[in-house]
Amino acid sequence: ISEPEFQSAVDYIKKHDDFLIVSHVQPDGDAVSSTLAVGWLLSCLGKKYVMVNEGPIPRRMSFLWHADQIVDLSALPLSRTYQHVICVDCADFKRVGTTKQYFAEDAVLLNIDHHPTNDAYGAVNVIVPGAAATAEILFDLIARVGVELDQDAATAIYTGMLTDTGGFRYSNTSPKVMSIASKLLEYGIDGPWISEHLLEQMTYPQLRILSIALNKLQLSEDGKLAWVSITDADMQAAGAIHEDLEGIVNYPRNITGVEVGMLFKVINDQAVKVSMRSAGKVDVAAVAQSFGGGGHVRAAGARLEASLEEAVAAVVERVKQEL
């Protein structure tokens, strides 16, 4: 990250007031944690802000500072628009979903993200593809603003980094990640509890939907691709909600010899969400981008306007080209 980009972000935050903080649809741990870390920073600076998401925050994130204050716009619309919008963990403008209806027509966006596919849609852009999580960028940003972390903020940042590195295991677990994690633990946060709560514990519906998904596991003839698909009927049979799908895509990817694991989730008759995980050879961000999505080399996703059968055929074909 170049110094000027960071300085522009610091200036943006210090100069303005009355912010809208948004993250991506179906928020993951990094999206929620980053939303809260920005809210925490603004509250330290005595600024006004509202934190929102298109939909509900995963229940297991509710232990985080002020998680209950992130407005679920599907349940509670806002009454006005905002001039200053801070987008975190959103690789492109589409990812903000319906939150965009609360952006003023001439809104000035601050885009803070770590996806290499980020297209710099903000007026100010802090894009750090080398960061494991958007929360990691916020650790640096908060330091540059000159605010001292507390246990609440440290817990949020740790959570974003923990979840986007799969528990400090994926290839994005850099020396810097471990060094920041070490500093965060010095604030007295309960690292083992956060790991147990987010990465080990499973609700019954979560295990049921995993079981249903694994029953439908598909492997390509060469053994290099594996995938599962989940329909509405599956979700109902398991009593599962969207957040229960977190982590399922790792199972096909974990098969020895598999290069790309995929999860296809039916959204409706004409739309399917695909999640992809790569063992390292295939750049799944490039595959996702060719379907209008994005992400990281080893973890990416896209939404296809297609039936399940069409989506599976198209993505499998496209991934095979990359092998």
Among 99, 125, 206, 275, binds ligand 5GP (CB under 6 A): 275
Check binding of 95 to ligand 5GP (CB under 6 A): yes
Check binding of 300 to ligand 5GP (CB under 6 A): yes
User: Is residue 115 a contact partner of residue 129, using CB atoms and an 8 Å limit?
Assistant: yes
* Nearest distance from C-beta of residue 248 to ligand 5GP, angstroms: 10
Among 21, 142, 295, 311, binds ligand 5GP (CB under 6 A): 295
Q: State how far the Cα of 173 lies from the Cα of 108, in Å rounded to an integer.
A: 33
The β-bridge relationship of strands 103-113 and 49-53 is unpaired
Check binding of 31 to Mn ion (CB under 5 A): yes
Question: Which pair of structure tokens corresponds to residue 47?
Answer: 């600024």
Question: Which pair of structure tokens corresponds to residue 12?
Answer: 């943006």
Q: State how far the Cα of 300 lies from the Cα of 293, in Å rounded to an integer.
A: 8
Q: Which does 92 bind (CB under 5 to 8 A by kind): ligand 5GP, Mn ion, none?
A: ligand 5GP
Binding flags for ligand 5GP, 32-71, as an x/- string (CB under 6 A) = ----------------------------------------
Q: Measuring CA to CA, which residue among 241, 307, 244 is closest to residue 274?
A: 307
Check binding of 30 to Mn ion (CB under 5 A): yes
Any idea how long the chain is?
A: 323
Check binding of 113 to Mn ion (CB under 5 A): no
Q: State how far the Cα of 141 lies from the Cα of 146, in Å rounded to an integer.
A: 9
Beta-bridge partners for 82: 103
Nearer to ligand 5GP by Cβ, of 137 and 299: the residue is 299
Residues 6+ apart with CB under 8 A from 155: 64, 65, 184, 187, 189, 190, 194
How many residues form the binding site for Mn ion (CB under 5 A)? 7
Binding segment toward Mn ion, per CB under 5 A, in 13-21, 28-36, 227-235, 282-290 = 28-36
Q: State how far the Cα of 289 lies from the Cα of 201, in Å rounded to an integer.
A: 33
Q: Which does 58 bind (CB under 5 to 8 A by kind): ligand 5GP, Mn ion, none?
A: none
Residues in contact with ligand 5GP by the rule CB under 6 A: 24, 91-92, 95, 115, 117, 275, 293-296, 299-303
Residues in contact with Mn ion by the rule CB under 5 A: 28, 30-31, 89, 133-134, 164
